[in-house]
């Protein structure tokens, strides 16, 4: 069979003129070299684009950082002082005495002692002096209590402070001495009977145990008087004339004072002298610091007249002595 003629791909020959039979035929497939060079160029361009983007991002981040450094400056003491003054000018802050009162209030109790009327007939001295008048307060809350009131009279009204959350209370001995029945009223209104479990006659102190207590009873925090000094602020919290709980503020006006009762029967020593107002009914209440920590038990007021009212000097037993009456270890 006759072979067909092959034509050159260059097209350099004349049209229609056959190429020599001896000419070497050109490959029919195009060379791939130019395509490979284009691919390498495209990859390099992409890398350069991403590199440019990363460089711009870094430059932007650096400029933001510099801007933040320029806008931020260190706080000075003047800045802090100005902020504190601004707060004091615009905010109403509670007083130190209010803070002390709120901290001690859950631990303060009202103490009332009763004696039977029949005993007054048998004790002319007690009948002559007369039982303490019933202070201002709520009417009897039950028929049972009303019946008791018909058979007994109120002998003393004072204050106590819970020192152990099991219902152990410190008060003055003269508030509960000779009582046929003792009642304590807790801060939440719960009323309970109480019994005397200990006394410290030299400091006119008594320890009471309540027969029932609130579920969330809070005991007071006691503080050593070792660094207490004249001029330190204190508050007396209690039931003056049965009204309260009430708070009065003042300062410690002396340490290690002595006091003799108006009857001259007893002299107490190592007392805290203070000028926060105290009156009958404050007896047995806590004398507290501005943190609401107990430093003493209010025991007496100095008044050379028969008025038995406060004229500026009160006395409290240091809490170290008072706590010892309850068997607590010293500070």
The SS3 assignment for 210 reads strand
Determine contact, residues 319/294, Cβ cutoff 8 Å: yes
**What pLDDT was estimated at residue 151?**
84
- Give the residue with greater pLDDT, 231 vs 330: 231
Find out whether 261 and 315 touch, Cβ atoms under 8 Å: no
Confidence of residue 20 (pLDDT cuts 50, 70, 90): very low
- According to the model, what pLDDT value does residue 150 have? 65
- The arithmetic mean of pLDDT across residues 230-249, rounded, is 96
Alpha-carbon span 72 to 85, nearest angstrom: 23
- Please state, in angstroms and rounded to a whole number, the distance separating the CA atoms of residues 236 and 233: 10
Domain 101-210 matches domain 233-325 at the CATH topology level? yes
CATH topology of domain 233-325: Thrombin, subunit H (2.40.10)
Class of domain 101-210: mainly beta
Separation of alpha carbons 226 and 295, rounded Å: 10
Which of the following is catalytic: 174, 248, 253, 275? 174
Q: Are 116 and 151 spatial neighbours (Cβ–Cβ below 8 Å)?
A: yes
Whether 65 is a known active-site residue: answer no
Q: Which percentage of the chain shows pLDDT scores above 90?
A: 48
Domain extent listing, the chain: 101-210, 233-325
324 vs 297: CA distance, rounded Å: 12
In angstroms, rounded to a whole number, what is the distance separating the alpha carbons of residues 48 and 136?
A: 93
User: What average pLDDT does the segment 150-154 reach?
Assistant: 83
Q: Please identify which of the residues 204, 246, 248, 253 carries the catalytic annotation.
A: 204
Of 40 and 104, the structure prediction assigns the larger pLDDT to 104
Nearest residue to 311 (alpha-carbon basis) of 284, 261, 275, 264: 275
Per the document, the length of the chain is 331
Give the number of other CB atoms < 10 A from CB of residue 127.
13
Among 113, 192, 253, 283, the one annotated catalytic: 283
For this structure, is 180 an active site residue? no
What distance in Å separates the CA atoms of residue 274 and residue 254, rounded to the nearest whole number? 7
Examine the residue annotation and report whether 283 is marked as an active-site residue of this protein. yes
**pLDDT one-digit tens code per residue, 300-330:** 998 877 777 888 899 999 999 988 887 777 6
């Amino acid at each position: 069979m006759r072979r067909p003629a092959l034509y050159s791909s260059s097209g350099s020959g004349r049209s229609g003129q056959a190429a020599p039979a001896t000419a070497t035929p050109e490959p029919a497939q195009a060379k791939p070299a130019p395509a490979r060079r284009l691919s390498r160029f495209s990859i390099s361009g992409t890398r350069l684009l991403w590199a440019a983007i990363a460089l711009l991002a870094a430059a932007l981040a650096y400029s933001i950082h510099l801007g933040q450094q320029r806008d931020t400056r260190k706080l000075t003491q003047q800045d802090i002082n100005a902020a504190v003054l601004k707060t004091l000018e615009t905010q109403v802050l509670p007083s130190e005495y209010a803070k002390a009162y709120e901290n001690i209030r859950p631990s303060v109790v009202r103490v009332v002692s009763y004696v039977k009327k029949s005993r007054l007939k048998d004790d002319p001295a007690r009948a002559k002096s007369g039982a303490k008048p019933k202070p201002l307060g709520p009417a009897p809350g039950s028929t049972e209590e009303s019946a008791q009131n018909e058979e007994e009279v109120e002998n003393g009204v004072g204050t106590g402070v819970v020192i152990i959350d099991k219902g152990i209370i410190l008060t003055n001995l003269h508030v509960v001495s000779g009582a046929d029945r003792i009642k304590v009223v807790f801060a939440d209104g719960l009323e309970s009977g109480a019994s005397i479990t200990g006394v410290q006659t030299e400091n006119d102190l008594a320890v009471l145990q309540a027969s029932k207590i609130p579920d969330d009873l809070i005991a007071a925090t006691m503080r050593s008087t070792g660094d207490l000094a004249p001029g330190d602020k204190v508050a007396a919290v209690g039931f003056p004339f049965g009204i309260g709980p009430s708070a009065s503020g003042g300062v410690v006006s002396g340490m290690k004072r002595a006091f003799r009762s108006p009857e001259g029967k007893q002299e107490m020593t190592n007392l805290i002298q203070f000028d926060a107002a105290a009156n009958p009914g404050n007896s047995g209440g806590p004398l507290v610091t501005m943190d609401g920590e107990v430093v003493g038990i209010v025991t007496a007021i100095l008044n050379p007249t028969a008025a038995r009212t406060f004229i500026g000097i009160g006395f409290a037993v240091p809490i170290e002595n008072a706590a010892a009456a309850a068997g607590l270890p010293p500070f």
